[in-house]
Amino acid sequence: MCHLTLQNEKGNAWRIVWSLEKGGVPTSEFPSHFLNHSVRKSVTGGKNRVIYYVHTPGLITLTYVLPLTAKDFSHVLWQSATECAVVFPGGVGVLPWMIPEGAEIAKATGEMMKEYEAVVWAYHGLFVSGADFDSTFGLMHTIKKAANIYIKARSYGAGITQTITDDNLRAIGKAFGVTIREEFWRN
């Protein structure tokens, strides 16, 4: 982990605040981190100040199993733990595999982060954003737990025999006063 900050108002230079001693350099995903800071800051009116990125094995596993769409991932995750629809009612974006370096993946992720606070990178990891580190880490952890639960449930002999229904999701939305993205529901 390291901490970098913008060096100037134009946003085309950075400096190290801490870490990266002995000649260390930022991750190859640095452009994605910085660009998405600016995207999330702008779409949340300055509220989102944290971008957090992780390699989550369970969620990565699902990118080999589920169709790589926001609809499929969001719905499966919402069904895999009751808290999910409350924690990320807007769902998660899913980016197909891209080279994890440079401006191209940064821009593609940024397009999705205009709409989603969490974006899955196929066969690679998860970008999440939030107002502070606690809520951002919590979002990542909720998604990660749900993915692991789904994998375990599918791995049992009989597979998944019952689940959270769309009616249940509707009830969750009503009880917690959240708008769960309806176009991702199955019925």
Choosing from 9, 29, 101, 117, the catalytic residue is 29
> What is the number of helices (H) and of strands (E) in the chain?
7, 6
Which DSSP letter does residue 142 get? H
Q: Which residues contact 44 (CB under 8 A, 6 or more apart)?
A: 131
Residues in the chain: 187
- Do 118 and 93 contact (CB within 8 A), yes or no? yes
Closest Cα to residue 43, out of 137, 122, 112, 143?
112
Q: What is d(CA 80, CA 78) in angstroms, rounded to the nearest whole number?
A: 6
**Strand pairing of 14-18 and 3-6?**
antiparallel
DSSP 8-class letter at 15 = E
Task: Specify whether 183 is catalytic.
Answer: no
Query: Which residues carry out catalysis?
Result: 29
